[in-house]
């Protein structure tokens, strides 16, 4: 095998393990972490739980195949991570005990949520292992990689083992550098919001109240920062929690988008943090799509469903949403969850998902008769659109993975 062998599932479980102790993520703290939530258990996760559980997309591995599956997750585990020590977990008491309603609360939640993303970036080291240099050279010499792929004859391969080893070591370094750059960027973003919390605590500017529920989308830009944020507070509950980061590549550069959907008793707060300097040909499109997403209840629901389909691994559902879904439809959505590449690209970003996930809520909103809607909004409940075959979708997914895997890309560039 060309890459260092790793037991992916075992290593990821080890990162997630409740008893795993790390150094606290709060600046300059050396305390040991406790297992705590990115989204409040008591005022959020519990509000969408049934019998102490929520539902989560948790595919299982069968040999080299991943099988789609939805599993029960206890409320003590949902959105939990080993990020902060006991002292600094108390830093978030305000947003654990009451709904977010002011600027400081908003920044606290963003800081905690992005800290969770930062913590799980460790998984990148598991998903993108180093090339096993000795094994890779052996494979090349044995002609397991064809001449056409790297344009080297068999004789030359024997003579240039040293060259190949150097190039593969360089590829490993490039890959690790890319992973570290992303971690550093995530860390920069989260610490910006921590600094803003400190400035609010020092009364350097006003800790103003947030907009009322169900009013309008609010955007906040910063003079000294290259990211902006938006938030919207609904006046109805969508029974889902999301804490995710999207990493979109354009012309060799990565753009990070952070999204948080927090459920309360009768509402949600939806938060987004994204770069100001998006690719020019996509900037207007994305901004318009976000603006349009918060014009009415139905458009908000569509936006959240679009977030769900592009963030299945970081989404937690109220169990009845899954349990009441007909099997054919659930299988269809689970298969879509498996092909994330079909929904996460600049060309397709934020295009409305074409299947209803929250059927009962969608029906209720439409029956209110407040919003004008297209018949297709009802069709989403009962009709499943056409998709390519699973084999075709798998082949396209593998092709995209091979094109965008940072280890393989760096190796091709060097060779």
| H/E element, 315 | strand 315-317
**Confidence label for 273 from pLDDT (cuts 50, 70 and 90):** very high
Say how many C-beta atoms besides its own lie within 10 A of residue 142's C-beta: 10
Assigned token pair, 234: 């609904």
Point out the least confidently predicted range of 174-183, 190-199, 272-281, 286-295: 174-183
Strands (E), 21-120: 33-37, 53-57, 60-62, 65-67, 70-74, 80-85
Share of the chain above pLDDT 90, in %: 58
Residue 2 in this model has a pLDDT that exceeds 50: no
For residue 3, what pLDDT is reported? Answer: 42
Residue 5 in this model has a pLDDT that exceeds 60: no
Mean of per-residue pLDDT scores for the chain: 84
Q: Using alpha carbons only, what angle is made at residue 58 by residues 100 and 330, rounded to the nearest 5 degrees?
A: 90
Residue 171 in this model has a pLDDT that exceeds 80: no
For residue 177, what pLDDT is reported? Answer: 72
What does the buried/exposed string (b/e) look like for 103-124 if buried means 16 or more CB atoms within 10 Å of the residue's CB?
bbbbbbbbbbbbbbbbbbebeb
Return all residues near 276 (Cβ < 8 A) that are at least 6 apart.
Answer: 221, 226, 227, 228
Rounded to whole angstroms, the Cα distance separating 46 from 375 reads 34
Residue 147 in this model has a pLDDT that exceeds 80: no
CA nearest 76: which of 53, 48, 99, 51? 53
Q: Using alpha carbons only, what angle is made at residue 78 by residues 322 and 260, rounded to the nearest 5 degrees?
A: 85
- Chain center to CA of 15: 17
**Confidence label for 165 from pLDDT (cuts 50, 70 and 90):** low
- Top-confidence residue, 187 or 404: 187
Q: Quote the DSSP letter at residue 211.
A: P
- Top-confidence residue, 166 or 326: 326
Find out whether 22 and 82 touch, Cβ atoms under 8 Å.
yes
Residue 71 in this model has a pLDDT that exceeds 90: yes
Q: What does the pLDDT average to over 189-204?
A: 95
Residue 127 in this model has a pLDDT that exceeds 80: no
Residue 156 in this model has a pLDDT that exceeds 60: no
Point out the least confidently predicted range of 62-71, 100-109, 335-344, 383-392: 62-71
Assigned token pair, 106: 């908003």
CA nearest 311: which of 286, 271, 340, 336? 340
Find out whether 231 and 271 touch, Cβ atoms under 8 Å.
yes
Residue 262 in this model has a pLDDT that exceeds 90: yes
Q: Is the pTM of this model over 0.75?
A: yes
CA nearest 127: which of 313, 309, 252? 313
Q: CB-hemisphere CA count at 13 Å for 214?
A: 8
For residue 175, what pLDDT is reported? Answer: 66
Residue 369 in this model has a pLDDT that exceeds 80: no
Local structure of 327: helix, strand or coil: helix
Return all residues near 126 (Cβ < 8 A) that are at least 6 apart.
Answer: 6, 8, 11, 12, 15
Q: What does the pLDDT average to over 246-266?
A: 92
For residue 221, what pLDDT is reported? Answer: 94
Q: What does the pLDDT average to over 230-246?
A: 97
For residue 101, what pLDDT is reported? Answer: 94
């Amino acid at each position: 095998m060309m890459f260092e062998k790793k037991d992916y599932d075992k290593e990821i479980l080890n990162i997630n393990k409740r008893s795993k102790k790390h150094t606290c993520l709060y600046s300059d703290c050396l305390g040991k972490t406790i297992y705590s939530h990115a989204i409040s258990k008591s005022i959020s996760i519990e509000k969408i739980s049934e019998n102490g559980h929520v539902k989560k997309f948790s595919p299982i591995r069968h040999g080299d195949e991943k099988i789609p599956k939805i599993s029960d997750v206890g409320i003590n585990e949902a959105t939990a991570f080993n990020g902060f020590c006991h002292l600094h977990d108390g830093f978030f008491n305000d947003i654990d005990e009451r709904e977010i309603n002011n600027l400081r609360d908003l920044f606290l939640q963003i800081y905690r949520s992005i800290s969770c993303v930062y913590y799980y970036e460790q998984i990148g080291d598991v998903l993108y292992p180093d090339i096993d240099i000795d094994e890779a050279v052996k494979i090349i010499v044995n002609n397991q990689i064809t001449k056409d792929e790297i344009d080297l004859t068999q004789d030359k391969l024997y003579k240039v083992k040293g060259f190949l080893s150097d190039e593969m070591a360089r590829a490993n370094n490039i890959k690790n550098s890319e992973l570290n750059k992303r971690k550093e960027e995530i860390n920069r973003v989260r610490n910006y919001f921590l600094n803003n919390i400190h400035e609010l605590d020092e009364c350097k500017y006003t800790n103003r109240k947030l907009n009322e529920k169900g009013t309008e989308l609010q955007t906040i830009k910063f003079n000294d920062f290259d990211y902006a944020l938006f938030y919207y507070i609904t006046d109805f509950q969508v029974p889902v929690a999301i804490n995710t980061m999207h990493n979109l590549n354009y012309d060799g550069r990565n753009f990070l988008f952070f999204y948080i959907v927090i459920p309360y008793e009768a509402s949600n707060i939806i938060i987004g943090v994204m770069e100001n300097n998006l690719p020019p040909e996509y900037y207007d499109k994305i901004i318009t799509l976000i603006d349009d997403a918060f014009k009415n209840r139905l458009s908000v629901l569509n936006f959240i469903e679009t977030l769900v389909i592009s963030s299945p691994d970081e989404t937690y559902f109220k169990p009845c949403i899954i349990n009441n879904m007909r099997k054919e439809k659930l299988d269809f959505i689970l298969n879509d969850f498996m092909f994330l590449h079909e929904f996460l690209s600049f060309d397709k970003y934020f295009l409305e998902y074409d299947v209803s996930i929250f059927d009962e809520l969608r029906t209720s909103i439409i029956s209110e008769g407040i919003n004008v809607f297209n018949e297709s909004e009802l069709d989403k409940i009962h009709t499943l659109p056409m998709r390519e075959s699973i084999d075709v979708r798998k082949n396209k997914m593998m092709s995209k993975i091979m094109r965008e895997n940072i280890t393989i890309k760096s190796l091709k560039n060097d060779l």
